[in-house]
Amino acid sequence: MSTNTPNTKKQAIVSQKDLNLLFRIIKTNWWIPIAILPIFYAMGTFYVYRLTNIYQASTQFLLKVNDTYYQNNVLNDASFYSYGSYVDNLNEQRIIQSYDMSSQVVDKLLPDLQVSYYIVGKIRTTEQFKNVPVDIVVNSVNPGFYEQIFDLKILDYNSYEISYEQDGIKQVKKGKFGERLIDVDLGITVNRNLTFTDKKIESFKEIFYQFAIHSKEYLISNIQGNLSIENPDYTNILILSLTDIIPERAILILDTLNSVYASSKLKSKFELNERTISYIDRQLNEISYSLKSIEDTMQDYKERKSIIDLEWEQNDFLTKIGSYDGQKSQLQLELKALNDLENYIIEDKDPQFLPPNIFVFEKSGFLSTAVNDLYLKQIELNKVYNIAKETNPIVADLKSSIKKTKQDLLIYITNTRKAVNQQVEGLNKEILSYINEAKLIPGKQRDILNIQRKSAVSEHLYNFLLEKKANTKIAKASIVPDMKIVESPRNVGVVSPDKPAIQKSFLSAGLLVSLLIILLRAFFYSKIKSVAHLKELTDLPLIGVLPYVKDENNDGIIVEQKPNSLISESFRNLRTNLQYANIGVGAKTYLITSFLPGEGKTFTSVNLATIFARSGKKTVLIELDLHKPRIFKRFGLPPQTIGLTTCISGLNTYEEIISSTPIPNLNCIYSGPIPPNPSEFVLSQKLREIIDRAKVDYDFVIIDTPPAGLLSDSIYLIQQVDASIFVLNTKSSSKRVITFLENIVEVNNLENVLLVLNGVTGLGKRYYYQGYGYGYGYGSGYGTGYGGGYGTGYGTGYGTRKK
């Protein structure tokens, strides 16, 4: 008993079949990337050339800078930094990016930014900032013209021409340099700049200029959209970056933004300083009027009472009582300031109405520090309200801090007021004591004393306010913004587009497209050019190979015209292979079809039938391509009026449709007139009887049918023949055709389906004679089939399996 030994031979990871497939794909498609990659590289180069470079300008400044040069003032600038060192940089970033800040920048730069200038080239249009010979001043413009492109042409040294589209109609306006253009919708003045000279006029005339007028809203939106702010960790430094296609313009905008932001930081401090000076001026005016009134009263009293001098007690009483009254007045001012501050805190007024008199009697200590802190927190709260909602955590924190400060201030005011009242009561007692003593002085002397005392008090207060006003004015010069420029605006360079990356992307796309085309060609549109390629795609047996013939579609029978040619030898080999093929004993009926027209099925049918007849076999050729009959042309005959269609219709008998040919042993049954319903004739029982009759009368029956890829006639007829031959042509047959054939075989359970590869190039007689060296031997039974074949071309044989 024999036993099967297992095959221990390891299967290679990459087989020779895989290598052949790869080699064939490379061989047939190597030119695709070579052709496509330069195209995509050129496209990428052109695209990159048309792109506009985006530049970035950058500046840096430091927040919370306490630079001050004068401390002795009513409102100490250093008091703004009494508590803490944290600066909320997020709020500052939002302020810088706010609409109002950008609006102020645009207002300052509107003459420079409102008009954009362009030079139109053959391939691209470039925007210019200062490199144009003209300067356009916008006096008035129709809002509908904002962002519209205007064409500008320089006619000569004195005149120009502007053209634009309005309501689909081209408008042309001419004007003179330096004079306002008289137009209702476009009120502009075009001026020559310093580069516009007589020597350059000809070159300027050849350049195609354009310009656009921008609205303020457009400019503000552009600045906000291109501005970015970065705050490095653990620093109070802000880095402002602005992108623009013109770096000089970006630098100008950033420089102006720095100036506007610094001015905004100074604004609140200057306002508080001015309010303090205004309050002191009002108090000085009131005291001046009071002093003048006192002096007038004294003069009038002395004139009416005829008083020349007072006794020596006058000086003593005046000095003491005046001193006490002065102290009392100052304490009363302090009480008034405390009351004003208390009302301010309780009524929760806007910080712009902070009573300035609270600073007049400022002393170092809690009150001055806490009041300044409260004021700053309220200012900050108003700023946050402009950019945040009530639910913002920052708002809640500020409100809580303000409430705590107010509570502390109210407690301190109550205690301070109590102490001041006690001092006032003490002074009142002292004054009352001296007044009682002064009652002993004659009435006239007492009245003069009262008038002089009031005058002394007013003068003392007047001198005090003058000193504070001088200090406050000096302090104004020491107010500086709490920010410092660390790095002036400068051009960082091009930030986009990344042109090398774009070109690489185009090359990658070209490579991807090349691979996609190669894959599509390899798997869907790759033509079957060789026997090896066909064997890789299918296990259907290959029964013959026909070399490429230039005049294949011409009329005539090539094996008769060129009996010693390579194509004739190929048909003889095909006949031999059919006779020895493993398709059953006594097989004589062969159906020949193809997937599409023009693949050589009729050519193969006629020449194969001729080869059989020339070998002495009685052969009949049946033309069953009722849709487009052509066999009669091969025999040099006109369209036949008698044939299958007339026999099936009952107009002729079987014997009458048998036509002889010039070739011995070869008869032909032509299709006859083309019927309106060819498929019904194919399905008729009469046709089956004709085929059965031919099988009896002839040694071989060759049936030419319509293309199987277009009509189902041949699929139906396959069941009535011994073997079916599908002709594949190297010009049109692809994997799709093989898939179609295999599906037909599997779905219809067909047997004896054979293939013929037509139009193979590179075949010579040596190829066929080489095959004869192996001989035409039989295999060992039906399983292996015909084993010799065409030498190296058909080493696996052409036999089919017996099912």
Q: pLDDT tier at 528 (50, 70, 90 boundaries)?
A: confident
Q: Is pLDDT at 227 greater than 90 in this prediction? A: yes
Which carries the bigger pLDDT value, residue 11 or residue 348? 348
What pLDDT does residue 148 have?
Answer: 92
Q: What's the whole-number mean pLDDT along residues 376-391?
A: 76
Among the ranges given (99-108, 235-244, 357-366, 479-488), the one the predictor scored with the smallest mean pLDDT = 357-366
Q: What's the whole-number mean pLDDT along residues 781-794?
A: 33
Q: How crowded is the C-beta side of 447, counted as CA atoms within 13 Å?
A: 12
Rg of the Cα trace of the chain?
A: 56
Q: Is pLDDT at 395 greater than 90 in this prediction? A: no
pLDDT digits (tens, 9 = 90+) for 694-726: 999 999 999 999 888 777 777 888 888 889 999
Which residues, in sequence order, are bridge partners of residue 42?
Answer: none
What pLDDT does residue 513 have?
Answer: 93
Q: What tokens does 634 get?
A: 């091969």
Q: What's the whole-number mean pLDDT along residues 299-315?
A: 64
What residue type is assigned to position 15 of the chain?
S
Report residue 801: phi and psi, to 5°: -80, 140
Q: Compute how many other C-beta atoms are within 10 angstroms of the C-beta atom of residue 753.
A: 21
Q: Is pLDDT at 252 greater than 90 in this prediction? A: yes
Which carries the bigger pLDDT value, residue 81 or residue 140? 140
Q: Is pLDDT at 85 greater than 70 in this prediction? A: no
DSSP secondary structure of 14-44: S-HHHHHHHHHHHHHHTHHHHHHHHHHHHHH
Which carries the bigger pLDDT value, residue 445 or residue 743? 743
134 in Cβ contact with 162 (< 8 Å):
no
pLDDT digits (tens, 9 = 90+) for 435-484: 776 665 566 666 777 887 888 888 888 888 888 888 887 877 777 777 78
Residue identified by tokens 């924190």 is 397
What is the distance between the alpha carbons of residues 303 and 178, in angstroms, rounded to a whole number? 77
What pLDDT does residue 744 have?
Answer: 86
Which residues, in sequence order, are bridge partners of residue 593?
Answer: 726
Q: What tokens does 734 get?
A: 């692809």
Which carries the bigger pLDDT value, residue 335 or residue 603? 603
Which carries the bigger pLDDT value, residue 782 or residue 48? 48
Q: Nearest 10 degrees: CA dihedral of 461, 463, 467, 470?
A: 110
766 in Cβ contact with 568 (< 8 Å):
no
Which carries the bigger pLDDT value, residue 171 or residue 267? 171
What pLDDT does residue 509 have?
Answer: 94
What is the distance between the alpha carbons of residues 668 and 660, in angstroms, rounded to a whole number? 6
Helix (H, G, I), strand (E, B), or coil: what is residue 212?
strand
Q: Is pLDDT at 163 greater than 50 in this prediction? A: yes
- Return the closest-CA partner of residue 800 out of 533, 577, 540: 540
What pLDDT does residue 698 have?
Answer: 94
What pLDDT does residue 9 have?
Answer: 47
Q: Is pLDDT at 73 greater than 70 in this prediction? A: no
Give the highest mean pLDDT range of 78-82, 381-385, 520-524: 381-385
Query: Integer distance in angstroms from the first to the last C-alpha of the chain?
Result: 28
DSSP secondary structure of 482-534: SEEEEEEEEEEEEEE--HHHHHHHHHHHHHHHHHHHHHHIIIII-B--SHHHH
- Return the closest-CA partner of residue 669 out of 611, 624, 603: 624
Helix axes 89-96, 366-387, angle to 10 degrees: 50
Q: Is pLDDT at 16 greater than 80 in this prediction? A: no
Q: Is pLDDT at 738 greater than 60 in this prediction? A: yes
Q: Is pLDDT at 735 greater than 90 in this prediction? A: no
Q: pLDDT tier at 508 (50, 70, 90 boundaries)?
A: very high
Q: pLDDT tier at 83 (50, 70, 90 boundaries)?
A: very low
Q: Is pLDDT at 550 greater than 70 in this prediction? A: yes
220 in Cβ contact with 213 (< 8 Å):
no
* Buried-state track 182-195, b at ≥16 Cβ within 10 A, e below 16: eeeebebbbebeee
Q: What tokens does 246 get?
A: 């013109």
Q: What's the whole-number mean pLDDT along residues 406-415?
A: 84
What pLDDT does residue 209 have?
Answer: 93
DSSP 8-class letter at 786: B
Give the highest mean pLDDT range of 72-86, 239-253, 557-571, 719-733: 239-253
The set of residues, in sequence order, having a beta carbon less than 8 Å from that of 456 and lying 6+ positions away, is: 318, 322, 325, 326
What pLDDT does residue 444 have?
Answer: 66
Give the highest mean pLDDT range of 68-82, 271-285, 661-675, 707-721: 661-675
Q: What tokens does 410 get?
A: 């109210």
658 in Cβ contact with 629 (< 8 Å):
no
The proportion of the chain whose per-residue pLDDT surpasses 90, expressed as a percent, equals 28
Average pLDDT of the residues of the chain:
80
pLDDT digits (tens, 9 = 90+) for 101-154: 999 999 999 999 999 999 998 888 899 988 899 999 999 899 999 999 999 999
Q: Nearest 10 degrees: CA dihedral of 357, 363, 364, 369?
A: -20
What pLDDT does residue 699 have?
Answer: 92
Q: Is pLDDT at 305 greater than 70 in this prediction? A: no
740 in Cβ contact with 748 (< 8 Å):
no
Q: Compute how many other C-beta atoms are within 10 angstroms of the C-beta atom of residue 278.
A: 11
383-387, Cβ contacts within 8 angstroms, sequence gap of 24 or more = 383/91, 383/95, 384/91, 386/98, 387/91, 387/94, 387/95, 387/98
What is the distance between the alpha carbons of residues 735 and 521, in angstroms, rounded to a whole number? 10
Q: What's the whole-number mean pLDDT along residues 480-503?
A: 87
What pLDDT does residue 479 have?
Answer: 73
Q: Is pLDDT at 358 greater than 60 in this prediction? A: no
Q: Is pLDDT at 224 greater than 90 in this prediction? A: yes
Q: What tokens does 565 get?
A: 């040619």
What pLDDT does residue 5 have?
Answer: 46
What pLDDT does residue 720 have?
Answer: 84
Q: How crowded is the C-beta side of 157, counted as CA atoms within 13 Å?
A: 7
Task: Cite the DSSP H helix spans in 140-215.
Answer: 201-206
Q: What tokens does 760 get?
A: 């193979």
Q: Is pLDDT at 2 greater than 80 in this prediction? A: no
What pLDDT does residue 406 have?
Answer: 82
